[in-house]
Amino acid sequence: MKHTENAPAKLNLWLNVIGKRSDGFHDIESLIVPTSGLSDVLRFDVREGGGGLNFSCNVSELTVGEDNLIIKALTLIERELEIKIEGYIELEKNIPIGAGLGGGSSDAAATLRSLNYIFKSSLSLDKLNNMAASLGSDVPFFVNSKPTICKGRGDELIFYSGDLTAKPIVLIKPPFGVSSAWAYSNLGKDGNLNEWSNDVQIADWGEAFNDLEMPVFKKFLVLPAIKTWLLERNETEVALMSGSGSTIFAVCVDLPSAHKVVDKARDVFGSSVWVKVVEIAAS
């Protein structure tokens, strides 16, 4: 059966890292939202059978082996349904890798949703969330893809009922990624940038902050430079790092302001930066 599924990017509007757990993960609390205007696209042409699976992607550096979250999600479905899946999966990768935008997790969740639909397996949302949690901390959020306060290691979901004004958001990512594992492992170590440790802004949704800025900004000095530059502009209201980076996002006053920020960012930071305008997808 053929099926196409969008896998949206996410933004962390605030991220509080509470502490390290006994299982090695960290307890967090974070308001996470899906975006409108930036998604990976997965195209499936699959069926039950043992003829093997072909996978293709437009980004050459993306691994396609057993560590690929799409393949891991497919394997979980095969085990749950006690079937083998054959056919073809194509990934159109639009979300940058290592950007703090959740591209890999979103792809995994889109795979779970799609295969559940294709094979008419009627797995419950709770079941899909449990399967998603075994794949990664952000994956349960993406199964639902709606504004959510995520707790625990990210697998405890409270759907957000507050108002999220649909203002344009500019994403700026320099030409490198940041490992989530590295960012969390360096949180709280000596030498963090003190001036960012209590940087809480007030946004339409309440407080805006990210505890992971401290270790990441210490190592990647261009990131606090981008954030400072954004905060100094009249066109922006809030600027923050998403997830573990390396994307810095800014909520803008209106769409013309967002386009002005995009043009200026390319002038200031060069053509190597990736820049994109998105909005919060409220539902």
DSSP the chain: -EEEEEEEEEEEEEEEEEEE-TTS-EEEEEEEEEEEEEEEEEEEEEEESSS-EEEEES-TTS--STTSHHHHHHHHHHHHHT--EEEEEEEE--SPTTSSS-HHHHHHHHHHHHHHHHTT----HHHHHHHHHTT-TTHHHHHH-S-EEEEETTTEEEE--S------EEEEE-S----HHHHHHTTT-TT--HHHHT--EEETTEEE-BTTHHHHHHH-THHHHHHHHHHTSTTEEEEEE-TTSS-EEEEESSHHHHHHHHHHHHHHH-TTSEEEEEEE---
109 vs 111: CA distance, rounded Å: 5
| Residue with the larger pLDDT of the pair 43 and 192 | 43
- Note the pLDDT tens digit of each residue in 195-234: 444 578 989 999 999 999 999 999 999 999 999 999 999 9
**Mean pLDDT computed over 19-27:** 83
Work out the burial of residue 51: count CB atoms within 10 Å of its CB; fewer than 13 is exposed, 13-18 middle, 19 or more buried.
exposed
Beta bridge partners, 240, equal 249
43 vs 140: CA distance, rounded Å: 21
Work out the burial of residue 25: count CB atoms within 10 Å of its CB; fewer than 13 is exposed, 13-18 middle, 19 or more buried.
middle
Average pLDDT over the chain, rounded to an integer = 93
Token pair recorded at residue 29: 């609390």
Q: What is the pLDDT of residue 20?
A: 83
Range 169-280 has CATH code 3.40.50.1970: no
31 vs 21: CA distance, rounded Å: 20
Q: How confident is the model at residue 16 (pLDDT cuts 50, 70, 90)?
A: very high
Report the candidate in 7, 3, 239, 242 with the shortest Cα–Cα distance to residue 141: 7
Token pair recorded at residue 129: 């969330």
CATH, domain 2-159, list 3.30.230.10, 3.40.50.1980, 1.10.287.610, 3.40.50.150: 3.30.230.10
Which residues are known catalytic residues? 10, 138
Number of residues assigned to the chain: 283
**Mean pLDDT computed over 110-115:** 98
Domain coordinates in residue numbering, the chain? 2-159, 169-280
Q: What is the pLDDT of residue 21?
A: 84
Q: How confident is the model at residue 145 (pLDDT cuts 50, 70, 90)?
A: very high
